[in-house]
């Protein structure tokens, strides 16, 4: 076969779709569910040593009990900066300083806050679906270019079906992850 057209790169499309799913999982991890999770602090930044750095570069985050996080700050001089970073993060957690350890009691979520968080989770999921559909569109554009360069109709149909199946599987994974996250948020 001496075909001059380039077939769509399914591996690249899959990798890009998986990237959207990975980003979604990261965003879901930052949503507070009323249960302590060290990933809740992934987005917290601290003003330290004249720069802004992630909290995990200033101390160790632990989960000693289901409704408590602790941050063991490595440099005594950064305790105040870490506390300020946590307060300014918008997580709604009040840090309690105990020497170089900062305790973070995780309060119960009220019904209104739970509903609000499920809506935020749904927005994150929709952004991921849009990203998946954009990757799908890129794949379909590759097929159109290949068709113009001599790809047969049968091959075009096979590739379109492959890309659509990949898209459907990724969207289903997003929907399942969203459903799981919303149940986790609403669980009292």
Q: What percent of the chain has pLDDT over 90?
A: 48
Where do the structural domains in the chain lie, given as residue ranges? 10-28+110-186, 36-105
Alpha-carbon torsion, ordered 86, 57, 75, 107, to 10 deg: 30
The H or E element containing residue 120 is helix 111-148
- Name the token pair of 139: 């794949």
Residues 6+ apart with CB under 8 A from 107: 34, 92, 93
Alpha-carbon torsion, ordered 35, 36, 38, 41, to 10 deg: 90
pLDDT for the residue numbered 2:
42
Highest mean predicted confidence (pLDDT) among 18-27, 48-57, 93-102, 131-140: 131-140
**What integer best gives the mean pLDDT of the chain?**
88
pLDDT digits (tens, 9 = 90+) for 80-110: 999 999 888 777 788 999 998 999 988 777 8
Confidence of residue 1 (pLDDT cuts 50, 70, 90): very low
pLDDT for the residue numbered 7:
84
Average pLDDT over residues 110-132: 90
Residues 6+ apart with CB under 8 A from 177: 21, 24, 25, 28, 125
Question: How many C-beta neighbours within 10 Å does residue 73 have?
Answer: 23
The CATH code of domain 10-28+110-186 reads 1.10.132.20
Q: Which fold has domain 36-105?
A: Gyrase A; domain 2 (3.30.1360)
Beta carbons of 142 and 8 less than 8 angstroms apart: yes
**Could you give the CA distance from residue 188 to residue 185 in angstroms, rounded to a whole number?**
8
Confidence of residue 33 (pLDDT cuts 50, 70, 90): low
Confidence of residue 26 (pLDDT cuts 50, 70, 90): confident
């Amino acid at each position: 076969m001496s075909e001059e057209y380039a077939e769509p790169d399914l591996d690249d499309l899959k990798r890009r779709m998986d990237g959207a799913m990975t980003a979604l999982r990261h965003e879901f991890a930052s949503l507070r569910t009323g249960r302590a999770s060290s990933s809740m602090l992934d987005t917290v930044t601290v003003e330290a040593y004249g720069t802004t750095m992630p909290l995990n570069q200033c101390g160790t985050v632990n989960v000693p009990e289901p409704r408590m996080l602790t941050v063991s700050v490595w440099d005594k001089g950064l305790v105040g900066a870490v506390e300020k970073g946590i307060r300014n993060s918008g997580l709604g957690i009040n840090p309690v300083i105990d020497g170089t350890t900062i305790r973070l009691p995780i309060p119960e979520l009220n019904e209104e806050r739970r509903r609000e968080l499920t809506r935020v989770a749904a927005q994150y999921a929709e952004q991921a679906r849009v990203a998946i559909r954009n990757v799908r569109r890129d794949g379909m554009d590759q097929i159109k270019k290949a068709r113009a360069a001599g790809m047969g109709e049968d091959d075009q149909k096979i590739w379109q079906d492959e890309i659509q199946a990949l898209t459907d599987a990724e969207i289903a994974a997003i929907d399942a992850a969203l459903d799981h996250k919303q149940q986790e948020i609403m669980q009292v």
